[in-house]
Amino acid sequence: MPLQAEDVQALVLTAELASLTTLILLVLGTPVAWWLAHTRSAWKGPVAAVVALPLVLPPTVIGFYLLLLMGPNGLVGQFTQSLGWGLLPFTFKGLVVASVLHSLPFVVQPLTQAFEALGPRPLEVAATLRAGPWDRFVTVALPLAKPGFLTAAVLGFAHTVGEFGVVLMIGGNIPGATRVLSIALYGHVEANEVNEAQWLAAGMVAFGFAVMWLLYLVSGRGPMSARGAHHA
C-alpha cells in the first residue's frame, strides 16, 4: 500500500533534519576532530570523553537534560527568549540542536581517525614547499581524509534518521513540525496500524542495509574497490 500523506510528510521532515544535522556536524566536528588528532593537551581525554558520551548515555537522559537547558528556566531557554526566538523544545530547531548533540561522536570519531591516519609526513612535505597551516589543511589534509569525511557524513545522516528517544523527548509528535519517521512508526504501532508500520519499518531496514553497504564500499573492501584495483 502507498504511504499515507502524513508518512510522506514525516519522510521529508526526516530528510531535512538529517541533512541539516549532518552539515552542521561536519562544520563543527572538523575542527574538533583535527584538534583531537593533533593535540597533546591534558584536555584531550576529557574532551574526547564528552564527545563520546552519547554512545553510552540513554537517549532519554540526553533529552531530559536538553529539556531542562532549553526550557523556560534553563540557561539556553532564557537566552533564546531574550533574543525573541522563543523556546526550542517541540520545534524543528530544537530537534536540530538535539540531533547535533546526539550524533556528534558518529561524525567526530571517524574524522579524528582519518586525520590521525594521515601521519605527519604529508604536512611536513607541504611545509617544506612553503605552504602555510591553512593551505596544508585545505590542500593536503582534507583531500587525503576524504574517505573519513564520507564515512562521517553517512554515519551522521543515518544515525539522525534512526533517532527515537531524543527526538521524542525534545520534539514530541507534532505533524509537519517534529514528527519524523521513527516517531511516525511508533505512532502506527501504538495505534495497531500494522500494515502502515510494516511499510515504514521495511523502508528503514532497506535504508540501514544501504548505509552499511555504502560504508563497506567507502572502506575500500567492496566489489567496486576490488575492480578498481584490478584495472589499476
Residue 131 has pLDDT above 80, yes or no: no
For residue 221, the model assigns a pLDDT of: 52
- CA distances in angstroms from 56 to 8, 61, 208, listed in the order given: 32, 10, 21
Separation of first and last alpha carbons in the chain: 46
Sign of the four-CA dihedral 194, 174, 16, 76: negative
DSSP the chain: -PPPHHHHHHHHHHHHHHHHHHHHHHHHHHHHHHHHHH---TTHHHHHHHHHHHHHS-HHHHHHHHHHHHSTTSHHHHHHHHTT----TTSHHHHHHHHHHHHHHHHHHHHHHHHHHH-SHHHHHHHHTT--HHHHIIIIIHHHTHHHHHHHHHHHHHHHHT--HHHHHHH-S-TTTT--HHHHHHHHHHTT-HHHHHHHHHHHHHHHHHHHHHHHHHTT-SHHHHHHHHH-
For residue 129, the model assigns a pLDDT of: 74
Question: Could you write out the three-class secondary structure of 7-39?
Answer: HHHHHHHHHHHHHHHHHHHHHHHHHHHHHHHHC
pLDDT, tens only, 169-214: 999 999 989 999 999 999 999 999 998 899 899 989 999 899 888 8
Instruction: Give the least confident one: 1-5, 59-63, 136-140, 225-229.
Output: 225-229
Residues 6+ apart with CB under 8 A from 42: none
Mean pLDDT of 77-92: 92
| Domain at 9-219, CATH from 3.30.390.50, 3.40.50.1460, 3.90.50.10, 1.10.3720.10 | 1.10.3720.10
Q: What is the dihedral of CA 126, 131, 136, 139, to 10 degrees?
A: -90
Reported as a pLDDT band with limits 50, 70 and 90, residue 4 is confident
- Please indicate, yes or no, whether the overall pTM of this predicted structure exceeds 0.85: yes
- Look over the chain and give the mean of its residue pLDDT values, rounded to a whole number: 88
Instruction: For residue 47, give the amino acid letter.
Output: V
Contact (CB, 8 A) for 84 and 93: no
pLDDT, tens only, 143-165: 889 989 999 999 999 999 999 99
Domain locations in the chain as residue ranges:
9-219
Mean pLDDT of 138-146: 88
Contact (CB, 8 A) for 147 and 219: yes
